[in-house]
């Protein structure tokens, strides 16, 4: 029997709340060196997944430019001079995790085979699978965890073909002629 998800999963999972600020999430990703996390509600129930890709997409699709002309920007001075033409203010309000997360969670139980987890990751083109117990997060399996499991897996023994057995076969038939 092959390995199970519960045997290779990371148990110390960093989960984020769905009401968390996206700036705080980005800082967390950098601080912890992770690229995604399960999203949970206030009771710890699994709600979704968020990744660096989600953050990048959100950042690239926002329209934070100031589009309304204002007298303030014509009168204000910075370091004694007028603001340069094209100056704009970025929106200081950011979104919440629930606004950006992927609500579809690809998850398995601890009894799922590593092979089935690998197939799911390839078929869905995802980098992590959540391991759950009911609606709670029990662990996470990343693509790196799969690679580690494959690298540690003992190789099947090849059929023994030693030099002694080959030399006996050839020496027996050496004296016979056809």
Residues 88, 65: Cα–Cα separation, whole Å: 6
**Looking at residue 61, what is its pLDDT?**
81
Strand partners, 102: 49
pTM: 0.68
pLDDT in tens, 122-133: 999 999 999 999
d(CA 153, CA 167): 33
- Angstrom distance (rounded) from CA 130 to CA 37: 9
pLDDT, greater one: 84 or 118: 118
Out of 25-29, 35-39, 67-71, 174-178, which region has the weakest mean confidence (pLDDT)? 174-178
What's the pLDDT at 62?
73
pLDDT for residue 140 is more than 90: yes
- Helical ranges in 20-176 per DSSP H: 22-32, 52-61, 71-75, 97-100, 114-124, 143-152, 163-172
- Report CA 175 to chain centroid distance, whole Å: 66
Domain 5-154 has CATH 3.10.580.10: yes
Mean pLDDT of 39-68: 83
Give the pLDDT confidence of 23-52 residue by residue, as tens digits: 999 999 999 999 999 999 999 999 999 999
Give the integer Cα–Cα distance in Å for 164 and 160.
11
Reduced to 3 states (helix: H, G, I; strand: E, B; else coil), residue 18 is: coil
The pLDDT, as a whole number, for residue 153 is 72
- Note the pLDDT of residue 100: 94
Residues of the chain with pLDDT > 70: what percent? 67
């Amino acid at each position: 029997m092959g390995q199970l998800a519960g045997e290779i999963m990371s148990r110390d999972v960093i989960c984020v709340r769905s009401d968390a600020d996206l700036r705080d999430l980005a800082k967390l990703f950098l601080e912890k060196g992770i690229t995604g996390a399960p999203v949970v509600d206030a009771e710890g129930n699994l709600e979704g997944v968020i990744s660096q890709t989600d953050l990048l997409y959100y950042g690239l699709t926002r329209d934070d430019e100031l589009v309304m002309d204002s007298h303030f920007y014509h009168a204000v001075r910075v370091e004694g001079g007028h603001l340069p033409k094209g100056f704009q203010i970025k929106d200081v309000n950011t979104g919440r995790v629930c606004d950006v997360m992927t609500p579809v969670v690809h998850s398995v139980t601890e009894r799922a085979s590593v092979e089935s987890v690998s197939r799911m990751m390839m078929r869905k083109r995802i980098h992590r699978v959540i391991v759950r117990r009911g609606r709670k997060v029990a662990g996470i399996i990343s693509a790196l965890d799969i690679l580690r499991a494959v690298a540690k897996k003992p190789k099947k023994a090849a059929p023994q073909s030693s030099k002694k057995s080959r030399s006996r076969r050839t020496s027996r038939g050496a004296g016979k002629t056809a």
